[in-house]
Structure 1
């Protein structure tokens, strides 16, 4: 008898194959901008750069911009009258700081009203087989987030299928709102990995995926969405969405 992991893997494989074959529901090109979370996690950002980002996000119809915590509140104030949301990252990019530090950082992020919180999942706990520790840490972070929209980055390029499924189920137990495939630091999720996240997650949980801002990323973008990605995180979305059909090929 097939295990639950094997069944989910097969289901994800079928979903990914349908997406790649163009047989799944591919979103209209105009809808892709509405899935974009513009991620600019850099140590140097000026007020003028943030203002320009906010204006471009509104003009292009992006769903969100993600900034380091020191600049998140300024972006929230600039975008207050618009539908564009703001998020900030915790424990980025490695997720290896101690639990107490992540909790404090999450509490600091929660102090920015109306900002979503994206936390890097501690993949080292998965590698060590510390499932109980993983669940406990994610639950503490959920409590520290106090009702804010909470996402966990899952470094799918570093994990096997069983570990990906375990991460999603731990996020479900912690009542996270979203899991995000990859940070982009160690690679980007494949179509099947996105499908696996979608198949392993409950219906109420959103799936995100990091995408590289290249012609290859642009070519994969609709297939990632068809495989189950409700949001796409990109550092340069104007590039990602701007490649011509010839460049994508």
Structure 2
């Protein structure tokens, strides 16, 4: 879809129809690594665990490390010069903060070194049909961040019509990606990224990011899930299992 010139969009992240090199992936490779947002969002994550996350991302040349705001400066310093980007989550996990708070959080994260922002959509406003608020919420974060913004859609809560509406609103507000995120916070919803959701959002806008999580030692199943998402149109996979997938590939390569 085309975007109005009044919306600021980074030149290298505009909604364009991609060639999607990820469709050719058959094994955990360097190309596969470029699609991975290496993620650690647990509330009890320690500084040592964050350093380990960064070191894994540097080793495998993942696209980004995605962390909570309190860890952004540490990650930015650790990743300096590596080519892996620092990504911060905004309004996580509920998306129910005020627009002003989200915009401030995004600006603060960028000032601390974030190169990408993952923001959670205001689910309640979306379901109530308050599309003006949803659009304003996303646009405020985009303008405050002035960098790549990915909009997390809580697809487990949404009808297909709401997923489509959210995807269009994200595009019109200047976001670079829409993203499906499984809720794994105790006391909240279950579910996760599905190929059907990816395909639906891909048809609504040009670029989509999914999130995949595995339970060890099922790394091969997690990789198969990634391939399923790529085939449906995903171009970025947010996962805490990226290193485990790559490590399994290394073991297999060295096996008789």
Scaled to the shorter chain, the TM-score interval is 0.7 to 0.9
Bigger CA drift: 175-184 or 213-222? 213-222
Mapped to 1, the partners of 2:25 and 2:123 lie a distance apart of 31
TM-score of the two chains, using structure 1 as the length reference: 0.80
Contact 1:142–1:175 under 8 Å retained in 2:
yes
SS in 1 for 2:150: strand
Aligned to 1:102: 102
Aligned to 2:70: 70
Aligned to 1:27: 25
| Higher helix fraction (1 or 2) | 1
Mapped to 1, the partners of 2:120 and 2:174 lie a distance apart of 15
Following TM superposition, where does structure 1 have runs of at least 4 consecutive aligned residues deviating by more than 4 angstroms?
240-244
Bigger CA drift: 181-190 or 36-45? 181-190
The yes-or-no answer on 1:209 pairing with 2:220 is no
The CA deviation at 1:169 is 0.6
Contact 1:155–1:181 under 8 Å retained in 2:
yes
Contact 2:182–2:193 under 8 Å retained in 1:
no
Evaluate the alpha carbon distance shift between residue 238 and residue 184 of structure 1 in structure 2; reply closer, same or farther with a 3 A threshold.
farther
Q: Alignment length, in residue pairs?
A: 217
Aligned to 2:204: 200
SS in 2 for 1:125: helix
Mapped to 2, the partners of 1:97 and 1:26 lie a distance apart of 40
Aligned to 2:5: none
Mapped to 2, the partners of 1:111 and 1:36 lie a distance apart of 23
Evaluate the alpha carbon distance shift between residue 240 and residue 163 of structure 1 in structure 2; reply closer, same or farther with a 3 A threshold.
farther
The CA deviation at 1:88 is 0.7
Aligned to 1:21: none
The yes-or-no answer on 1:187 pairing with 2:191 is yes
RMSD: 2.0
The CA deviation at 1:240 is 4.5
The yes-or-no answer on 1:177 pairing with 2:155 is no
Deviations 1:213-233 (A, max 9, x none): 233433321010121111111
TM-score of the two chains, using structure 2 as the length reference: 0.78
Aligned to 1:134: 134
SS in 1 for 2:163: helix
Mapped to 2, the partners of 1:184 and 1:197 lie a distance apart of 18
Mapped to 2, the partners of 1:35 and 1:93 lie a distance apart of 22
Contact 1:171–1:179 under 8 Å retained in 2:
yes
SS in 1 for 2:210: strand
Q: Where in structure 1 are there 5+ consecutive unaligned residues?
A: 1-23, 245-249
Mapped to 2, the partners of 1:128 and 1:240 lie a distance apart of 40
Mapped to 2, the partners of 1:81 and 1:242 lie a distance apart of 23
Contact 2:60–2:246 under 8 Å retained in 1:
no
Q: Where in structure 2 are there 5+ consecutive unaligned residues?
A: 1-21, 185-189, 250-256
Evaluate the alpha carbon distance shift between residue 43 and residue 25 of structure 1 in structure 2; reply closer, same or farther with a 3 A threshold.
closer
Aligned to 1:15: none
Contact 1:90–1:118 under 8 Å retained in 2:
yes
Counterparts of residues 201-240 of structure 1 (less than 5 Å): 201-202=205-206, 206-214=207-215, 215=218, 216-240=221-245
